[in-house]
Amino acid sequence: MKFNTTAILIAIIYNVINFLFWLRISTMPNATSMVYIFIYPCFWIITLIIVGIIGFRNKAIWFSKSYKVSTIVALFFCTPFPFMWFKAIAAPSTYLVSTGFSTQDGHTIKSEEWIYNTGGLNVIKYWTADEPNCNDCDSSHFKPEGVWVYLGKKKDTLRIDTYKNGKLISGIKK
């Protein structure tokens, strides 16, 4: 078996560009990164057209018995499937979807809603800061407060933690 260096090089360049897109998106605010909904498919389609043309022109060599396996593997890595597979594996199981602030009795209450990557609610967490309107305060100003109910993916209760003045009062695992 011989290696199809051209197809492998195209696949490497394609995946490096995909990775750089992914790094760029991870540092952008959500609304701004929406442009990549159009950029990714355009990039994938353009790459598939270019690879298709090059593959068609070189089909006698690329799909000969000695190059066939390396060509097929390299062409597979020129599709979005390996990237999507990697992204699914690398994605965290839960992530923060919203943060809210409110002021009551001279204290700022911060809440965070965490969900599973499947969309189900995981937990809503609460913190308090001793300062009013502390929306831009550092996280060190906030102390855990209230009842945090952790839910499983099947919406069953996994754990209930109760905090008071920044200290865990009780933690019950179900």
> Quick one: pLDDT at residue 167?
92
34 and 51 together in one domain: yes
> Quick one: pLDDT at residue 163?
95
Which residues of the chain form beta strands (DSSP E)? 94-104, 107-116, 121-129, 143-144, 146-151, 157-164, 167-173
> Quick one: pLDDT at residue 137?
85
> Quick one: pLDDT at residue 51?
92
Which of 67, 90, 113 delimits the end of a domain?
A: 90
> Quick one: pLDDT at residue 39?
86
**N residues, the chain:** 174
**Domain span holding position 142:** 94-173
166 in Cβ contact with 143 (< 8 Å): yes
Query: Based on C-alpha coordinates, what's the Rg of the chain?
Result: 25
> pLDDT under 50 in the chain at which residues?
none
61 and 117 together in one domain: no
- pTM for the complete prediction? 0.57
Which of 71, 90, 109 delimits the end of a domain?
A: 90
118 and 166 together in one domain: yes
What's the total number of domains in the chain?
2
